[in-house]
């Protein structure tokens, strides 16, 4: 089951003044960065979805995804190594089988 993690504006309210709006954006981005770092350390995600006005907020959402991709790359690398080992073992088993056939007959 999924869950939603909401990040507040940090007390900055209102859009009438540019200064208040910028303060809200900056506080939101800082809080979002802290939240994403904290969650990336403690959880694994299948999906990360970000919504907000500044288009670069997706970069903050990419932080936990980066860890997911690193983990997947590590799994792929381990899988490739395991495949090589099993292929070598299979070839040795086939060679032993062929040698046993020659000896038996």
For position 71, what pLDDT does the model report? 65
What is the SS3 assignment for the chain?
Answer: CCCCCCCCCCCCCCCCCHHHHHHHHHHHHHHHHHHHHHHHHHCCCCCCCCCCCCCCHHHHHHHHHHHHHHHHHHHHHHHHHHHHHHHHHHHHHHHHHHHHHHHHC
For position 61, what pLDDT does the model report? 72
For position 86, what pLDDT does the model report? 80
Each residue's pLDDT, cut to its tens digit, for the chain (105 residues) gives 567 777 776 666 666 788 887 888 888 888 888 887 887 777 766 666 776 666 667 777 776 766 666 666 666 677 777 788 888 888 888 888 888 888 886
For position 72, what pLDDT does the model report? 64
> Structure pTM?
0.50
């Amino acid at each position: 089951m999924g869950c939603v993690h909401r990040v507040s504006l940090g007390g900055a309210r209102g859009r009438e003044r540019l200064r208040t709006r910028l303060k809200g954006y900056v506080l939101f981005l800082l809080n979002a960065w802290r939240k994403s770092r904290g969650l990336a350390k403690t959880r694994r995600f299948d999906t990360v979805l970000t919504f907000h006005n500044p288009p670069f907020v997706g970069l903050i959402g990419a932080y936990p995804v980066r860890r997911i991709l690193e983990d997947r790359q590590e799994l792929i690398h381990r899988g490739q190594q395991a495949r090589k080992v099993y292929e070598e073992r299979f070839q040795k088993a086939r060679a032993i089988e062929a040698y046993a056939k020659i000896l038996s007959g």
